[in-house]
Amino acid sequence: MAQAQSTGAVRTAGRGRTGGWLAAAASGALLGVGLAFAVLRIALPSEPARISSDVWPWTAQGVEVVPLGVAGPFHEGDVVTAVADTTVAVRLGSLWPPSPLRPMPDRLSFDVLRAGKVVHLDVALGPQPVGGLVAAGLPLLGYTLVQMLVAVLAWLRRLGEGWRRGFLVGSAANVASALIWELGLRPSDIVRPEPMLPLFLLAAPMHLLFWSSVVHVLVSWPRRWEAVAGRRWAVVALYAAPQAALLAGVSALGVVSPSPLDWVGSWSRVLAVVILGLIGLVLAALARAYLRTPAGHDAWLRVVAAACLSVALAVGVLTVVPTILTGHPLLGRSVVAALALPLAVVLIVGVLRSRLFEVDVLLASRRRLVVAREEERRRIRRELHDGIGPMLAAMTLKVDLARDVLRSDPDAADRALEGLKRDTQASVAEIRRLTRELRPPALDELGVVEAIRQRAQELSTGAAGERVEISVAAGPLPALDAAVEVAAYRIAAEAMANVVRHSHARHCQVRVSANGALVVEVDDDGVGFADGRGAGVGMTSMRERCSELGGSLSVERTADGRTVVRAVLPVAP
């Protein structure tokens, strides 16, 4: 059964790693969409005007444009009604199937509604600078890139976890959508053979993918919400339902809208309604995660919760709700992103210094520790009941026998007492064995360093009778908790045993030091894992002991061929 469980765990880990790399591939594809739009935007000749993606400027007459430059043919407030003798309404009404590819001319005609009159413009197409657009969108692009960095760091720590994979994909989608929205459309993109308009329309579902990933994070971290994160169909629905709602809303409006322009003009409201629903889920998940987090993590999570809450409310109050009510946000995305930059800083600091995304891992380790403790209690109870208990009962019977025959048969009494002595010695040995398993006596008698040194002397004879010279060096150590002492001793003993049994080493050095944390290093000149042997039960046990205390374990091969096992255990101040 244990072998079956091990095989299942290996398969699960393998699927997790495969899913992690598939998430990385999907993230790369999404970033590729954003970069493709950026490359086309920079390379293709266009007119000096753009369509704002902050204020969705589609009206019943056409689309309002923002002039680029001060001396161009377009004016502030111009509404483009036709491009290349094709009205905007007709072109939008025939988005599918797409028009056949054709080369763009050097000049393009535009019909513009200006001050109530239709003006015909003949505009030369050429390269247009995008530096100003990028500069204006730097807060948004900066925020999305920092968030992408946070997602990558979280994913690298445990690439098999679903919420980390989702956050990576959602963050990549957010970067791509931000890049597309900031560079924006040109009126000529409506008739351009290159897929600028389809790529631009992909920004909306990609942005929803990001919000879904945020909800996925909050239902999985720091306390897993089993009703959502624990059910695969619920996680799938978390990502699929917003996309379906967007498609259904846009399709429904396409049926009732009087014209294609009215239809396209309503898309921003549909997107805003779906985002508002996701913001509601974010707030609910955030509240639940905060309320169910252990008190020891409250201080830092209070900062994270406040930052997330402020960003969600800023997006909702300043962009989403005004768009639903009036069709226009109060502030542009880049301005709101500037308000969200503190959240990005909080997340970066949390990932790099405070193990922010490891809270769930530590809680899982604590749960395993509680389970292990109860299993250990059950084992001790069983051994006391089935081992020492019968011994003591037998000893009582032998005492009664000796008393019964003491006067009539002294020899029988002597034999009974001799058996009683042996049983007593066996009971004492069994009790000593149990106490050694609970906590090595040498820790209380000698201290952790001397206990390690004593164990090193016991292990100095290696495989096939080879002698391994093991030295122990230690600096001054602070007062250590009992759990840290046991973990340090067990890790050092297991690492030294591995050296003696497997490494064919001649020399081994154990170093114990403290500098804000207890560091135990076991350094040997053996073969290490060079023969292809992977980490076994002993190495897994050492990692779990470190994880239970919030520490870390690493195994490195140095340039001169030595193997170094390094355990870092937190020390209470």
Q: 413-430 pLDDT, tens per residue?
A: 888 788 888 878 887 777
Give the 3-state secondary structure percentages of the chain, helix then strand then coil, rounded to 5: 65, 15, 25
Residue 379 structure tokens: 């084992």
Render the burial of 497-531: b for 16+ CB within 10 Å, e for the rest: ebbbebbbbeebbbbbeeeeebbbbbbbbbebeee
Residue 517 pairs in a beta bridge with 570
Ordered structural domains, the chain, with CATH? 2-42+129-354 (no CATH), 371-438 (1.20.5.1930), 447-570 (3.30.565.10)
Burial class for 121, CB neighbours closer than 10 Å (0-12, 13-18, 19+): middle
Residue 471 pairs in a beta bridge with 509
Q: 175-193 pLDDT, tens per residue?
A: 999 999 988 899 998 888 8
Whether pTM > 0.75 for this model: the answer is no
Q: Rounded distance, CA 441 to CA 439, Å?
A: 6
Report the number of secondary-structure helices (H) and strands (E) in the chain.
21, 12
What pLDDT does 403 receive?
Answer: 80
What pLDDT does 486 receive?
Answer: 86
Count Cβ atoms below 10 Å from residue 208 Cβ, excluding itself: 23
Count Cβ atoms below 10 Å from residue 54 Cβ, excluding itself: 21
What pLDDT does 79 receive?
Answer: 93
Pairing state between β 66-67 and 469-474: unpaired
Q: Rounded distance, CA 111 to CA 360, Å?
A: 59
Q: Rounded distance, CA 47 to CA 127, Å?
A: 8
Count Cβ atoms below 10 Å from residue 168 Cβ, excluding itself: 25
Q: Rounded distance, CA 173 to CA 203, Å?
A: 8
What pLDDT does 436 receive?
Answer: 64
Does residue 213 contact residue 224 with C-beta atoms inside 8 Å? Answer: no
DSSP state of 459: T
Does residue 191 contact residue 83 with C-beta atoms inside 8 Å? Answer: yes
Q: Rounded distance, CA 404 to CA 421, Å?
A: 18
Number of alpha carbons in the 13 Å side-chain half-sphere of residue 505:
31
What pLDDT does 7 receive?
Answer: 38
Residue 515 structure tokens: 């500098």
Which amino acid is located at 210 in the chain? F
Q: For the chain, give the mean pLDDT.
A: 80
DSSP 100-159: PP-PPPSEEEEEEEETTEEEEEEEE-B----HHHHHHTHHHHHHHHHHHHHHHHHHHH-T
User: Residues near 247 by Cβ (< 8 Å), separated by ≥ 6?
Assistant: none
Which amino acid is located at 385 in the chain? H
Mean pLDDT by 10 residues, the chain (573 residues): 37 58 92 93 90 85 87 90 85 60 82 92 86 74 83 78 88 93 89 86 93 88 74 91 95 85 87 93 81 56 72 87 88 77 63 51 55 65 72 79 80 81 79 69 85 88 70 88 86 89 86 87 79 56 78 80 86 69
How many percent of the chain have pLDDT more than 70?
A: 80
Count Cβ atoms below 10 Å from residue 62 Cβ, excluding itself: 25
What ranges in 266-388 are assigned the alpha helix state H? 267-291, 298-315, 321-326, 333-353, 359-383
**Preceding peptide of 258 cis, ω within 30°:** no
Q: 485-541 pLDDT, tens per residue?
A: 888 998 998 899 888 888 788 889 999 998 778 999 999 988 766 443 444 567 777
